[in-house]
Structure formats: structure tokens, C-alpha cells
A and B are shown apart, each in its own frame.
Chain A
């Protein structure tokens, strides 16, 4: 403990000045000093890593991947990983006005001084914020413009499965799960420095050559056909892979998992304990990228999950525990797990929350375990209104399942149901769309038919409809997105079919979804548009108040990019796709098969019922639900 006199005499001069922090909103975003943050001696560590989340502190601090990788890197004594988030707009103005460079939270040192700057790419709409942060950090945007003294800028996360639109700005990408790969990259850096043979170029080449899952975009040349489609990817060295295989963790039980959390003082979006129960999803919805790229489906054992959750509770005191999974009720031992958890969560007044419940596995038993959550609403995602269209997208959900699930909720006293849908799926007609509000009407009818309903308040059904966005590595990756006009027409059409005031209708912003489609299926040529967008001050495009569609259109026009080429064009089945440089496990042959079945409205059984031969089982994995044989 410091003496009082010392406290009175100390100077607050480091990092952002106190005068600056006192002049902006929510200074707690930039102060650091949270309980659980890791501080090391910068004189003795061998590599400094700034882990950047390209969004606000409140969003970034909620991210489980960041919590894991922060701990995984810091578990190496000679690596110091710190956090950095995108400063909010008022802070950015001050930083630019006073020529202050972006700092990391723990040390308050400029990230420009670090060895690595790693961005997690969680959604496409964060790309402009990535460039915005590089520019605030006073680091050249393009990898080719950086010199030896600049940090190596690396990227990972779900959007790295098609890294091409941001390829110009990154020195290196991690493809796949990072717990093992990321420390390997930093260790190679330390080793080369120790051996006195480090240069930026040699490091990148050696990483690409020796570390599976590493993609160094500058080592691959892309050529194009006259029609603008890609001709080929050509590695510039013959000792680097021609296709980058994603990395997976073989045994999730033994993978690094943090024992604590950096505790934010200010309120964040998901301020609670989050523990994964597994990775991947057995379902195979044909629009869903996560359901494809996280294969093979692997589970953790209940004891491990229980211990990890308990350990974090002991070190944090959080009042809520959330089990993270793409579909929690598909976890094979969900009953056993929740029983174990409830043994200590109940007496400690910790709420258990189970997100992403599927309607067909939503039971009274499961419901009783989560009633501790006071929310009066429950959410299901039928994704399409008609059974035909649900078969097209392989949702594998019957209306009867949904009606059974809402009745369970009604009998538990809930009277608000939220239903998520998408519009613009392949083969969709207005008749399919009209089924969205019709389904909501039938849920309301179901409420009144249920004698055990909560009669205190009238029911409310909220339908949220988002436009379909074709994503890489899905059976729908080749599909065209509806034009903006068509998206808007459909949104209005659905609205006209809502005739009951007990139904609330929301829809997603169509222009945002169009830009997201461009970025999701983009290639390297988008780099110049993103660079120009950054020059024009774009940032926080995931925030509706900062998203400006017309400004995007002028950026595209001025940089010679046709957004329709990426969003509204059906990609050719034999075309070289921008993400063909990546091997994420599921094969193109499988995706094509699934696409054909979609057009025939034929469903495919889930991974547990039958193997559909997607190809991801070639990597094995402990407690994977795949057959062991490599197909």
C-alpha cells in the first residue's frame, strides 16, 4: 500500500492527461486500471502485444474471444498483451486536435511502440473502425507502407475467413481458432529476435511457411479475368501453402481458458461470466456462416465447464452466468451441466442464462432452470415464415415445434415472444413473406387457446426481420442479395400484412445490410475503397448514427467499385471465389450439394442424425460428433 504522502505528491501525467479525461464522456473507457488487468514490467518482457477490438470499450469488453486470447498471450511470462478499443467520437476529436496517438489501456503507452497490434474482426461493419484506429495510432494503413519499427498488424476472428477486403492493411491473418496459433506467432517473433535474424519480411515468410493457419496476404498475388472475376491466387514463394488451412483446437477441455476476467468498472454490453460449452453447430442452416466455419462440432465436458464457470465466479463476483454456444440445447449433456451449475449458482444468487435456444428443444424442464431470469420475453428464431422456406434454408423446425415451445413459455407466465426472421432467402416469394406475420398471428391465437396463460397482461409478439446477406463458406455463398429497392419493398410488404396491434414489427436497416454484403463477399480491390472511406472519416459503421449509405456510394463511385458486383451478382459456381485461398474444412462440393438441395426444398439431417460429409471431420477433434474416418 502506498503512503498517503506519496499519493498526494504523485503526478497523473502518464497516458491520456487527466485534463483530457475530465473533458470527455465516459472517461472510464480510457482509464484502464480495472481489477484483473495484467501489468508486466515492460523492460523485461520480450514482446508487447496490443489486442485491439475495433469498437467501443463497452462492446469489446464483452467479447469472450478477447478475454480468452488476452489470458492466453499473458500466460507466457515474456509476452505482455494489453487491450485497446476504438475511442468514442468525442475522444477522437480531442486526440486529433491535440495530436495524441492511440494508447493501450494497461501501460498507457502508444500502440505504435508495440511489437504487435492484433485486431479481432467480429463483423464486417467494423472494417472502417480498424482503419480509423490504425490512423489514430499513427500507423500507416497499408502493410506495404510500414517499416521495421512499426508493429506487425495482424487480424483474426470470424471475418478473417474472407480477409480479402482488408488484406492490404494486415501483415498477417490468423485463420481459425487462435488460442494456440497466436502465441506460436509471437514465440516465433521472439525466437527470431533472440537469434538476431529478425526482419519483418523474413518473419512473415517464416510464419507463413511454418505456422499452420497463418495467411500473409502480401505473399500471394491475385490475378483477375476481364469480367472482373478472379483468375487465380499465386504464392510468390513455393514453400508456402497454396491454400491456408484453418486451425482448430483438438481438445476444448484442455484448451487455455482464463481463470478470471478484467472487470470493467463502467457498464458494458455483456457484463457477466461467459463460458463456452463447445464450438460448432450440428444444424447446418444454409445461410449461417458460423454454423459452417466452426466445424467440426466439438464439446467440452460438463465438469470442465462447471469448474471454469465456478472459478470465474470466485474471482469476479458476477451475478450472471451465460453459457455460450451456437445452439445451447444441442449440447449433448445440457441437463447434467445445468444441474451441476445450479448447485452453486442458486445459493449464490447467480442467474443462469441460456442464449440461442432452439424452439424444438425448448422444454419445460430447461425453462424451469432459467426462470431465475426475470425477463418476461423469450426469443426464438424460425428464420422463415413458411415451412417450404424453412426447408430451403434447412432450419429443420416445424411449426408444431414452435407452437409447443411458445406454450411452454406461456404456461411459465411469459407473455412476450420475440421471433427472428430473415427476408430475401433464395426462392422466396411474397407468399413466403406473408407467412411471417401470419405465423405471429397464430402465436397470438395459441396464447388465447392456452388455459394456463398469464392473463394479467395481453400478449405481445415481436417479429424482427433482417435482410439476407450471402456469406462466404455457406451453401448460399453464391447467391445474389436482393437489390436495395427489393429489400425495401419486401419490408413494406411484410408491414402491410401485420393487422394486429399485439404484433410489433421491426426490420433491420437495408442499406447497412447491402454494405455488409459487399464487404462480406469482397476481394482485395475493396482495399482502395476502404482506404478512401477512412480518409473521409468513416468509423463506427455498425452504429446507425454513424452509418451513411450515400457516403459509401460516393466512395465506391470515386474508387471505381461497383457494389452490385459483390452484393447483387450471383457468383458463378465455377468461379474462383475471393475466399478460395482459405480452407475452412467444409468442402466446396458439400456446399454445392447443399445449395442444390436448397433449391429442391430438401432438408439435410443434422450432424448427429447422419453425417452429410461436409469435410470438416478431416481435422478430427476430441468429443467431436463426426465419424472418425476421414472422408
Chain B
């Protein structure tokens, strides 16, 4: 958070030269800890206030109900954390990316924190994001070391049919086709799965499906067991080749 003094000393956004054409900048941020419980809709409302209190020179839509123009990258489901969320902002004054980053972080907490602000690379669009890498950890008592291999085999052997919800209703899907790579390990009381899952349009595979599969097949995380817990962390997003990081 900014100190009171910092807010007082900050130049008003009106002091920056107006741009002839609005400019789009990309914000990469993380959403972790308590922020994992905040829905996408709530995040949007939060960010619109953050932009105001940070004094970002936003370009406003010209309609009857003017609002700041911002576009989010992938949605992140409630209960998942991420180190690689993206947001495009349209600004109408010449403020440097570095200053935008500092201003935003002054108006945010550690758990919703801007990692980078940069000019959008030529031709780059959020629709280019096809894969996302996740680090899933499950902490529970009495995991056998052989479980790692069993889980890997189970989750990567086609077909693994699951009921998958989509806008058009529930359908049976072989989820292995939506998993690009998957690795699993067990250490002490922690099961760790690193997986690259499809995040493209209707093929979006929510990592919770993997948790569900573990519940159903291996009896992990039984209903009402509050001593075990799991975390889902999105770490990287990739282009269609599954290797090149989105920028």
C-alpha cells in the first residue's frame, strides 16, 4: 500500500501529456492467497477501483455510461491461485509502463500484485493462449510412494471419460486429450502434480477435474476431511505449441 505521503506527493494523472491515440498496455499480475476466493466478476469490480485510486490515465468509453476500457486474459476459477494473469488497459495519457506498475502496486496488496507492465507486442492477443501449466499440491497423511506413478498412468491413459460441464450442457469427454503433459511425485505427505492443460475456449479443462478424478479413483480428499488440503497454482501460459510462453 502507498503511504499517505506518497499519495499526497503523487502527480495528478492530468499532468501527463495526452496521447493522440489511446494506447494499450499489458499488465501481468499474480492472484494468490486470499485472493483465490475472489471470483472473476469481483476481480473486475476491484480492478476498476484500483485503476481509479492508482490514478491510471484510463481511456473511457464514449457511450451513455462511460467506463474504463480493460480486458482480462484467461478467467481463473475460484480456489485457484496464479502467477501469470493478464489484463490489457487502454490509457489516454503518456505514462510510462514502469510508473503504471508502481502506481498499481501502491494500490494493491501482496496477494494481488503486478509483476510486469509492457506495451502489447505486435499481433499478440489473449486468444493466442492455448495451454496453461499448473502446479497442484495435495497435502494429506499416508501417501504411498507408488501412488505417484499410479496417478500419472491413470490421468494420461486414454480414454479417461468424465462428465464435463460447458455452456451447451454436460457431455462425456476424454480428458486425456486436453492434457498436454503431466508429471506426478510424492514426497512426505505431499502429492504434487505438474500438468499442462488446455485453456482454449470450450476445451478449457478446469484443473478441478484432476482433483475430482483423484477423489473418485483414489479416494483422496474424502468429503468432510478438513485435515487434508490442496492448492492449485497456475504458473505459466503458452501458445499453441505448448512451449512458447505467451507475452
A residues apposed to B, CB below 8 Å = 1-2, 4, 7-8, 12-13, 17-22, 27-28, 31-36, 94, 97-98, 259, 263, 265-267, 313-319, 348-349, 374
Task: Give the top 8 A-B pairs by smallest Cβ distance, nearest first.
Answer: A317-B52, A33-B34, A317-B53, A317-B49, A27-B37, A31-B34, A19-B229, A265-B38
Tell me if A259 and B4 are in contact (CB < 8 A). yes
CB-defined interface of B123-138 with A at 8 Å, one 1/0 digit per residue?
0000000000001000
B153 interface residue per 8 A CB criterion: no
Are the CB atoms of B53 and A314 closer together than 8 Å? yes
Q: How far is the CB of B168 from chain A (nearest CB, A)?
A: 26
Q: How far is the CA of A522 from the CA of B228 in the complex (A)?
A: 48
- Given A17-B226, A22-B79, A349-B60, output 8 extra A-B contacts at Cβ < 8 Å: A8-B233, A19-B225, A22-B78, A36-B1, A267-B45, A316-B49, A317-B50, A317-B107
> Which chain A residue shows the least CB distance to B30?
A7
| B46 at the binding interface (Cβ < 8 Å) | yes
| C-alpha spacing A27/B77, complex, angstroms | 13
* Most chain A CB atoms below 10 A, which of B37, B107, B109: B37
18 contacts between A and B (CB under 8 A): A1-B110, A7-B30, A12-B231, A21-B79, A28-B37, A28-B38, A28-B42, A31-B38, A33-B35, A33-B109, A35-B50, A35-B108, A94-B226, A265-B43, A314-B53, A315-B7, A317-B48, A317-B50
Asked whether B233 lies within 8 Å of A21 as measured between CB atoms, the reply is no
Tell me if A7 and B83 are in contact (CB < 8 A).
yes
Interface of chain B residues 51 through 83 with chain A (CB within 8 A)? 51-54, 60, 65-66, 78-79, 83
Question: Which B residues are CB-close (under 8 A) to A263?
Answer: 46, 49
Q: B105: nearest residue on chain A (CB-CB)?
A: A1
Contact of A19 among B34, B48, B221 (CB under 8 A): B221
Nearest B residue to A271, CB-CB: B45
B49 touches A18 (CB 8 A): no
Interface residue B116 (Cβ < 8 Å from any Cβ of A) = no
B33 at interface by CB-CB < 8 Å: yes
* Dominant secondary structure of chain B at its interface with chain A: mixed
Q: Which residues of A contact B221 (CB under 8 A)?
A: 19
Give chain A residues whose Cβ lies under 8 Å from the Cβ of B45: 267
- Once the chains bind, are B37 and A98 in contact (CB under 8 Å)? no
A316 contacts B53, C-beta separation under 8 Å: yes
Least Cβ–Cβ distance between B92 and chain A, in angstroms:
14
Task: Find the B residue at minimum CB distance from A10.
Answer: B33
B residues within 8 A CB of A259?
4
Task: Name the distance in Å between A82's Cβ and chain B's nearest Cβ.
Answer: 14
How near does chain A come to B41, taking the closest CB pair, in angstroms? Answer: 8
> Inside 8 A of A7's CB, which chain B residues have their CB?
30, 32, 83, 233
Distance between A23 CB and nearest chain B CB, rounded to angstroms: 9
Cα–Cα distance between A105 and B3 once the two chains are bound (Å): 23
A4 contact set on B, CB distance < 8 A: 83
Number of B residues with CB within 8 Å of any CB on chain A:
45
Q: Contacts A28-B38, A265-B42, A267-B42 hold; do A33 and B52 have CB atoms under 8 A apart?
A: no
Check B38 against A266 for contact (C-beta < 8 Å). Answer: yes
Smallest Cβ-Cβ distance to B1: which chain A residue: A35
- Hey, which chain A residues are within 8 Å of B108, CB to CB? 35
Say whether B121 faces chain A, with CB atoms less than 8 Å apart: no
Closest residue of A by beta carbon distance from B51: A317
- Distance in angstroms from B47 CB to nearest chain A CB is 10
Asked if A265 and B35 make an inter-chain contact with CB atoms under 8 angstroms apart, the answer reads yes
1/0 per position for B101-124, CB-CB distance to A under 8 A? 000000111110100000000000
**Chain B residues near A27 (CB-CB < 8 A):** 37, 78-79
Contact A32 B4 (CB under 8 A): no
Chain B residues 188-233 with CB under 8 Å of chain A are 221, 224-226, 228-231, 233
* Known contacts A35-B107, A259-B4, A349-B66, A98 near B226 by CB under 8 Å: yes
Interchain CA distance A315-B110 in the complex, whole Å: 17
CB distance from A347 to the nearest CB of B (A): 9
Known contacts A7-B32, A19-B229, A266-B42; A319/B224 CB under 8 A: no
C-alpha spacing A315/B108, complex, angstroms: 11
- List, in ascending order, chain B residues with CB within 8 A of A33's CB: 33-35, 109, 111
Among B1, B66, B109, B231, the residue within 8 A (CB) of A18 is B231
Interface centre among A2, A13, A19, A21 (most CB of B within 10 A): A19
Q: Which residues from chain A contact B37 at a C-beta distance below 8 Å?
A: 21, 27-28, 31
Q: How far is the CA of A319 from the CA of B60 in the complex (A)?
A: 14
Could you tell me if B109 and A19 are in contact, using CB atoms closer than 8 angstroms?
no
Which residues of A sit under 8 angstroms from B48, Cβ to Cβ? 317, 319
